[in-house]
Structure 1
């Protein structure tokens, strides 16, 4: 009897860096391959054209190493094979969805059978969109109604991890050194020789970028890159949060053991000021990279809640409980899928209200024809630009805001109510700066950055979509005091204020000079320097918050009255300025002084 024809299966990992509950992996192995090659493409688009800081790079690399080791444990000849080249499980990001289509078309033209499975969300988001009439899901009621039509609103049970993995090709057969290599084609870090164009992460690269030295990697072994290979100094990684499937499953198991925590969890009742440990699960980065299956998370929680229900114990309910939080994630993913690429900005987005923010994004056309590496937004106000940069760097002079922004930069994560505080402050509650600027900063710094959720939350907090009660404004003083009257979060992340009495910890500029000297920190300047002749310094507030809140509220009322949206013609022809009473240069008329 002749030997059966070898069956080679190439399995493409991206946002599913795990073995447990992987529908695509199960489908691949069910083909009974004689040769199995699990790969991850080190795509230049994400390397150079997506904002990624050192903390998220580290989390990704740890997750890849864990997965590669897991493959090796099942089969010593196996690993996660990293290809340094462009072109994945089915993905809902706009760029990735477009790329998937190209890859599938090329594969089919080459006679390769392509199997696509969804494993990133509880339900297939395209199906959610169809069940919602082809429209973006804009509320919890809409997402619940849509998923109710898919398996009665209950996701499929998770599947087990495989217990064995077939061999890959031999090392000689896997040798791709002779294959034509584009050399990344993305940006180019410091000293990069193989790339050209814009590198959005160049500021984080302190050494030569070697990651595209060859299609098999610098060691010709398809290995997981090191931070040094991508030009990042490991000392820049400050997050205490570790990546990988092993860590994710251990974290989840620890929470599941605490049935009271799982059953009574309500997101709005968790403290944004808690650290070591934080008040929420911090499983979101694991959901993003797929080191934890969202279906396993859902069902492990659901099983606890069902058990409590049978025991007559109370459970929190949707939307504030844990399943409700996962449904919010589905809502944003489905909205993104329905709108497409324009979901990530105001321009061309039919669902987002247009507000006359400072530092508006340039149109895609202007960016395409603009100077390479130039600003992606208009600086209509030098003052607003300064406010934005001080906000980003955690030196606004408002300790609650600064502590949260410094925590974000150091650790790559802040509590969702902390995100609410800093987002409201930047947009409708202080600076009146475009939410798109804030979303870009979060994209860079968050280890749990998920495009759909990040953009959706910024729209929500800026009251441009999903939420419209713009008069509900977070105070950078009163809100922090509510959760942390002692100011412990501030003392942790703004250590120069550690000795201040709690009476002044949220408003240190009100402390008498004698007390400031006593507590070894003067409140002066703009925070561009951390010391002076008197010792440590902390910046003065960059504006009067009560005054700015009033200005922002009045402007929001006017913007809602004007009633423009992102896809209106006034945005394309520039006539929106006239609708908002701006001059030809986009400047706001100066108010006459009262006499």
Structure 2
């Protein structure tokens, strides 16, 4: 059936819906009403072969599947742009391999919601440009094989990713390409720099300090500039997927995947939401220019950092676009902060871990990891469970873990405190166990950054000032002496006077009754004596380092490396921002 759009160039926007699509929707069962409405919003232009595309077909060559993985956006998407510029027809596809995402990526319920919201937002954006998103469920390679043959595909485009499982996935797709006769094009879009080039400039090995990493970046210069945003004209130059595919391969509902509806984070996924948050933060150019990460507040009820990390992790926002927006603001400011504590410094810290992870075998494990101290951590399932479920008996730590479970996000200093408590600070449990919990619960869980931070904070790699430990009482009290953060996330403790809110076990029995919370019955006693545990663990860490320091592959270029100096600042009580109440407490 010929699509009733007159042959003109460019075609009108928005493009009228083809009657075939409307007909295909009208015969759907009532149970699919939600999907029907979403598919109706996809204003698909003419089918392949419509005279609208005649001129374009003469110039284009490929039938292309563009595989979205983490680059769930239309701005600065070089692989998708390349697909549109080289193809007769482009199928925008996201493969939802539930087994892979559960067993390999360890996606928890909150991140599932965030992902589905991001896919729905991407679907809506593609519809507005005259295309659609096809979410196909199944095993990754099987889906590619089946649809390459079904759609006569000659090219697959995708973002280049650094994780070993994504590298293996790309290698397998390339193998399919050799077998079935299609080309594979992967382009860098999730990082600022080509990590392979950084490794080459460092003699083929990863730089293990931030300071050395910055020296190499100085040789490379600024990152590549972002590619232009995609427009309706880009999609009109090639044909959209066949009619009916938008409905057949819609974004599943959370109930379809048996994801509990109560596990919805206040952070909404998607490129649109990410761009909105980005503009809100960049509007305050003074804050952007003066941002200094250690001076943000760990127990702020609202993020005192940008809070954009979930959107970068999922690829809803482009890190290159953010980098250059920051550069423009810095250029106009009289003074601005510098790496490692500036906003650009945080992006480079992300690149640092990406680079090290890309060339370090077993990066997410202790065994077989050449940069990681080999430590005989305790195996204690009960203690691990109490930490994970906010039952440590230390209100600040439990409030942190409660916020993490409820919202999927916590401040970076809160992450530091929780990680230190689990590992070298108090419980002496392996950083691998904590990494797995964060991987499941964090919206911004990232293979390289998550593992790198856990090694760093457990003093297993990167950071060597192991004598500096977060106190689970004093550190939170410094910035929130009234305990508002604890009262929000642990309402069982909300009626305790401020002097007891961080140590409710020190309140008398009568004071506990007045607060409506008996320690040991309504809220647990502390699971350890912090001073005894931390002193004991310091001795254990000292022994480990004395035994292994000469043989472990730990590199320190300088004693004043910015990575170490940064954590020293994080751990320095004198450097924490002080609230008015905190200053009054000190003066008293």
Tell whether the structures are fold-level matches, with TM greater than 0.5.
yes
Paired residue secondary structure (1:59): helix
CA shift, 1:158, in A, is 4.5
Q: Does residue 454 of structure 2 align to residue 423 of structure 1? A: no
The 10-residue stretch of structure 1 (342-351 or 99-108) with the greater mean CA deviation from structure 2: 99-108
Paired residue secondary structure (1:303): helix
Paired residue secondary structure (1:115): strand
**2:248 aligned to which of 218, 221, 231:** 221
**2:304 aligned to which of 275, 279, 291:** 279
**8 Å CA contact retained: 1:16, 1:22:** yes
Where does residue 339 of structure 2 map in the other structure?
Answer: 318
Where does residue 42 of structure 1 map in the other structure?
Answer: 96
**8 Å CA contact retained: 1:349, 1:567:** no
**8 Å CA contact retained: 1:78, 1:167:** no
Unaligned runs of 5+ in 2: 1-53, 142-157, 554-588
- Within-5 A mapping of 1:291-302: 291-302=316-327
**8 Å CA contact retained: 2:420, 2:457:** yes
Distance 2:177 2:219 in 1: 33
Paired residue secondary structure (2:367): coil
Q: Does residue 85 of structure 2 align to residue 30 of structure 1? A: yes
**8 Å CA contact retained: 1:148, 1:154:** no
CA shift, 1:137, in A, is 2.7
**8 Å CA contact retained: 1:93, 1:452:** yes
Paired residue secondary structure (2:403): helix
Paired residue secondary structure (1:147): helix
- Within-5 A mapping of 1:386-535: 386-525=382-521
CA shift, 1:565, in A, is 9.8
**8 Å CA contact retained: 1:352, 1:566:** no
**For residues 51 and 78 of structure 1, do their structure 2 counterparts lie closer, same or farther at Cα, with a shift above 3 Å needed?**
closer
Aligned length: 478
Unaligned runs of 5+ in 1: 175-215, 360-383, 526-536, 569-595
**For residues 323 and 158 of structure 1, do their structure 2 counterparts lie closer, same or farther at Cα, with a shift above 3 Å needed?**
farther
**For residues 42 and 565 of structure 1, do their structure 2 counterparts lie closer, same or farther at Cα, with a shift above 3 Å needed?**
farther
Distance 1:50 1:13 in 2: 16
Distance 1:441 1:288 in 2: 17
TM-score, normalization by structure 2: 0.78
Where does residue 282 of structure 2 map in the other structure?
Answer: 256
Q: Does residue 525 of structure 2 align to residue 540 of structure 1? A: yes
**8 Å CA contact retained: 1:9, 1:35:** yes
CA shift, 1:294, in A, is 0.3
Where does residue 168 of structure 1 map in the other structure?
Answer: 240
Distance 1:96 1:519 in 2: 52
CA shift, 1:140, in A, is 1.5
Where does residue 329 of structure 1 map in the other structure?
Answer: 350
Where does residue 84 of structure 1 map in the other structure?
Answer: 138
Where does residue 210 of structure 2 map in the other structure?
Answer: 140
Report which of the two has the higher share of helix: 2
Paired residue secondary structure (2:65): strand
**For residues 509 and 40 of structure 1, do their structure 2 counterparts lie closer, same or farther at Cα, with a shift above 3 Å needed?**
same
Paired residue secondary structure (2:518): strand
Q: Does residue 427 of structure 2 align to residue 357 of structure 1? A: no
CA shift, 1:260, in A, is 1.0
**1:159 aligned to which of 228, 238, 249:** 228
**8 Å CA contact retained: 1:91, 1:97:** yes
Distance 2:390 2:499 in 1: 21
**For residues 325 and 566 of structure 1, do their structure 2 counterparts lie closer, same or farther at Cα, with a shift above 3 Å needed?**
farther
Where does residue 8 of structure 1 map in the other structure?
Answer: 63
**For residues 106 and 431 of structure 1, do their structure 2 counterparts lie closer, same or farther at Cα, with a shift above 3 Å needed?**
same
Paired residue secondary structure (2:186): coil
**8 Å CA contact retained: 2:96, 2:135:** no
CA shift, 1:145, in A, is 1.9
Paired residue secondary structure (1:249): helix
Distance 1:519 1:249 in 2: 44
Distance 2:121 2:207 in 1: 35
Q: Does residue 84 of structure 2 align to residue 64 of structure 1? A: no
**For residues 565 and 65 of structure 1, do their structure 2 counterparts lie closer, same or farther at Cα, with a shift above 3 Å needed?**
farther
**For residues 352 and 305 of structure 1, do their structure 2 counterparts lie closer, same or farther at Cα, with a shift above 3 Å needed?**
same
Where does residue 261 of structure 2 map in the other structure?
Answer: 234
Paired residue secondary structure (1:40): strand
Cα RMSD after superposing both structures: 2.0
Distance 2:376 2:133 in 1: 51
Paired residue secondary structure (2:67): strand
**8 Å CA contact retained: 2:225, 2:321:** no
Paired residue secondary structure (2:354): helix
**8 Å CA contact retained: 1:264, 1:316:** yes
